[in-house]
């Protein structure tokens, strides 16, 4: 694999994470189809299993599966914190990706540790 294709893959991943973060921030909680799409996107964009999503949201793996398959969808009032969680997860993964890019370029970096951002200068 050449460096251009690696760069393109990283850029594509960054763009996808940014789009998910922005979509989660502006999503209409009353839109059932949007909720279904956003939960499904967690599996692919955030690279999480149904079990991991369920654990994070304090619901069972089958519940997440039912949400994705539109067999059961939570009340709109409960969707707002779920969308916020999705947006936060996308933002966190985006920061990690950008941190990794910064390291490869030799610049200053930020590290995510237990949800807290810790700024540090890269040793030269």
Q: Which among 45, 38, 66, 43 is positioned nearest to 53, based on CA atoms?
A: 43
Which CATH fold would you assign to the domain 3-91? 434 Repressor (Amino-terminal Domain) (1.10.260)
Using alpha carbons, select from 122, 31, 47, 15 the residue that is nearest to residue 82: 31
pTM of the model: 0.74
pLDDT in tens, 11-47: 888 899 999 999 999 989 999 999 999 999 888 999 9
pLDDT tens-place string over residues 45-86: 999 999 999 999 999 999 999 999 999 999 999 999 999 999
Taking a C-beta distance cutoff of 8 angstroms, is the pair 40, 68 a contact?
A: yes
């Amino acid at each position: 694999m050449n460096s251009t294709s690696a760069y393109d893959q990283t850029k594509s991943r960054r763009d996808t994470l940014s789009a998910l973060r922005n979509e989660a921030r502006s999503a209409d909680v009353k839109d059932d189809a949007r909720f279904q799409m956003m939960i499904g996107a967690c599996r692919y964009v955030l690279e999480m299993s149904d079990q991991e999503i369920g654990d994070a949201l304090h619901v069972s793996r089958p519940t997440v599966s039912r949400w994705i398959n539109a067999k059961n969808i939570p009340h709109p009032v409960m969707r707002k914190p779920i969308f916020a969680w999705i947006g936060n997860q996308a933002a966190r993964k985006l920061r990690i990706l950008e941190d990794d890019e910064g390291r490869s370029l030799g610049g200053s970096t930020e590290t995510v540790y237990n949800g807290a951002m810790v700024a540090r200068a890269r040793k030269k």
